[in-house]
Amino acid sequence: MKKIIISLCASLMFMACGEDKKGSMLVTGEIKGLKKGTLYLQKMKDTLLISVDSVTLDGAETFSLSDELESPEIYFLSLDNAKDKQIAFFGDKGTIQIQTRLDKFDFKAVVQGKKNQKLLNEYKEMITKFRDKNLDFIKAEFETKGDTAKMDSVQKLANNLLRRRYFYTTNFAVKNSDAEIAPYLALTELYDANIRLLDTINNSLTKEVKASKYGLRLEEYITEIKNRE
């Protein structure tokens, strides 16, 4: 009977903790293998990574964190502020679920989020293939040192791959111009690309996305580039 009462009290305490979480976004999940540690919910403010919520876990693998956000943006789930224990995801209003393992914190992470997160997962799947191919070119270039003709050939292939990646990213963003991932990709994947690609994405954005955090920042970035030219 005593064990039942203790168990019931623990359950009520857990429910109470969950009810204390306030904010338009709730991040819940499980970290298998975690015995003890502090989880931080973080996001970028200007150029600084700041913590907006945290929870210390001791003997529990489940967690709940929250924040108030105006528009979808990238967040980070960090364990003990370790750089190798950090999961990036697209935060949005509603509930985001994250499942992972302690030994492969970011590598094994499965994020169930809203529209932008699903699109980010899709984009990452394809862009990984571009990056793997680029690694092959880097290896080939290293192995052909001293052979100018072969090095030039490999460099041309690498440049062509980069252009294909830029065009893929642009097309992906334009196709999803009604989602905040579009200006986000322009800012993070095409910041050093031709200004015409950035303009193409910016001009395709819906009114709502233009008014979002990344939409406004993209407009500012394009203006900064044009003012320097």
- pLDDT, tens digit, for every residue of 132-188? 888 888 888 777 777 788 788 888 888 998 999 999 999 999 999 999 999 999 999
pLDDT at 54 over 60: yes
pLDDT at 62 over 80: yes
* Residues of the chain above pLDDT 90, percent: 70
Q: Which amino acid is at 150?
A: K
Residue in the block written with tokens 């003890």: 36
Pair type for strands 94-101 and 25-32: parallel
Tokens representing residue 27 in the block: 């991040």
Taking only the tens place, the pLDDT of each residue in 75-90 is 999 999 887 899 999 9
Pair type for strands 94-101 and 86-91: unpaired
Taking only the tens place, the pLDDT of each residue in 89-147 is 999 999 999 999 999 998 889 999 999 999 999 999 999 998 888 888 888 877 777 77
CB 201 within 8 A of CB 187: no
DSSP run (H or E) holding 157? helix 148-175
How confident is the model over 188-211, as a mean pLDDT? 97
